[in-house]
């Protein structure tokens, strides 16, 4: 499945490497681009510093609507604009996510958080903890809305959200931006319009997403609304409808956690083209996380879960902070994804002695 650039769910490509899809010349002919242009585009991209110039050229020509459009896309990429912004999408969790200019690009490492959140949501339903077998999922600091949209789709794909969805085979690595980061950026997959379709929106989960950045909110609506969710604009919990208080089963918060002093060390594709509010986590990188932890107890159901991506160095501090707010936290680590996730549980008994229902 994928999220198409126009919004809505549609089948994705088979997730394999670029070599198993339409060739550069075949894709180009479909939009009026003459065969034999690949070497020139590859040379141009390589001269601009694109390490994976051949594969980026194939992605660009497959996404272009004609020679003029291709030229404009190549020019933007050579100017240093992230490939995902040039294409208008990024692959995330087996789905194609709309990513507009100026919006944070979902990282492949964050797929680990999505896997954990999906499993916990299914467990909540199986244990009878999700009202009416329809868990409430909230995606704070949502950016493009990728995390919430993929969780909602996976839950909906499993009927009542109880059955464990078999993991699809991992795609062969297809390159994206070669950035000097501890963890690589997402690797987009080529489009496959012949297999596109639009199933009905997901109804097995109540999904809400929120962000303080207006551009992110507009982009997120293109990804979240087609799967039956809502997107709200505002600062963390202030953005959420009051009726969600005490009803949230799964709270995802992909907060910024880069320490302020390290922002200047990030590659320009991040610090120039992504919003600072999505990157800067304050002096120690934990400012926004502290605020999320402080308010989580009021929004989660008893026994509900909060999941936050963090760094290995920050994890122990985050566990201690959670404890100060009466929350129990553990740390999950995936070497495969090179990701660290803080999993926080709200008490099974509310303050005042009200038991979970």
Residue 74: pLDDT above 90? yes
Would you list the DSSP string of 254-302? ----B-GGGGGGS-HHHHTTS-GGGTB--TTS-HHHHHHHHHHHHHEEE
Q: Over range 210-238, report the average pLDDT.
A: 96
pLDDT tens sequence across 108-128: 999 999 999 999 999 888 877
Q: Decide: helix, strand or coil at residue 146.
A: helix
pLDDT of amino acid 350 = 56
Residue 54: pLDDT above 60? yes
pLDDT tens sequence across 9-26: 333 333 322 233 334 444
Q: What is the CA radius of gyration of the chain?
A: 21
Residue 27: pLDDT above 90? no
Relative orientation angle of helices 67-78 and 53-63, to the nearest 10 degrees: 140
The span from the CA of 60 to the CA of 17, in Å, is: 15
Q: Over range 250-278, report the average pLDDT.
A: 95
Burial of 162 per CB tally in 10 Å (0-12, 13-18, 19+)? middle
Distances (CA, A) of 98 to 219, 285, 308, 348, 356: 7, 27, 22, 37, 38
pLDDT tens sequence across 313-344: 999 999 999 999 999 999 999 999 999 999 99
DSSP-assigned beta bridge partners for residue 333? 340
pLDDT of amino acid 175 = 33
């Amino acid at each position: 499945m994928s999220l198409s650039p126009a919004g809505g769910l549609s089948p994705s490509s088979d997730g394999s490497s670029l070599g198993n899809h339409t060739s550069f010349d075949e894709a180009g002919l479909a939009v009026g681009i003459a065969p034999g242009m690949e070497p020139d585009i590859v040379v141009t991209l390589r001269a601009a510093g694109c390490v994976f110039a051949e594969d980026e050229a194939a992605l660009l020509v497959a996404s272009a609507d004609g020679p003029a459009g291709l030229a404009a896309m190549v020019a933007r990429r050579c100017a240093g604009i992230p490939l995902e912004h040039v294409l208008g999408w990024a692959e995330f969790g087996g789905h194609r996510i709309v990513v507009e200019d100026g919006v944070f690009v979902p990282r492949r490492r964050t797929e680990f958080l999505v896997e954990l959140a999906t499993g916990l949501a299914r467990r909540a339903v199986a244990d009878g903890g999700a009202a009416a077998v329809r868990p409430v999922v909230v995606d704070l600091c949502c950016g493009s809305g990728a995390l919430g949209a993929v969780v909602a789709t996976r839950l909906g794909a499993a009927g009542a959200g109880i059955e464990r969805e078999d993991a699809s085979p991992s795609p062969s690595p297809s390159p994206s931006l070669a950035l000097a980061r501890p963890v690589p950026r997402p690797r987009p997959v080529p489009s496959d319009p012949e297999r596109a379709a639009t199933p009905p929106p997901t109804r097995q989960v109540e999904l809400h997403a929120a962000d303080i950045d207006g551009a992110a909110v507009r982009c997120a609506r293109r990804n979240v609304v087609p799967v039956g969710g809502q997107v709200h604009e505002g600062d963390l919990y202030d953005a959420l409808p009051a009726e969600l208080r005490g009803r949230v089963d799964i709270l995802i918060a992909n907060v910024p956690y880069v320490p302020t002093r390290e922002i200047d060390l990030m590659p320009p594709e991040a610090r120039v083209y992504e919003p600072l509010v999505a990157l800067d986590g304050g002096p120690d990188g934990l400012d926004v996380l502290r605020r999320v932890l402080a308010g989580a107890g009021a929004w989660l159901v008893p026994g509900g879960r909060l999941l936050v991506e963090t760094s290995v160095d920050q994890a122990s501090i985050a566990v201690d902070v959670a404890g100060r707010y009466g929350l129990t936290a553990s740390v999950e680590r995936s070497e495969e994804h090179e990701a660290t996730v803080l999993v926080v549980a709200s008490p099974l008994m509310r303050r005042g002695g009200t038991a979970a229902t």
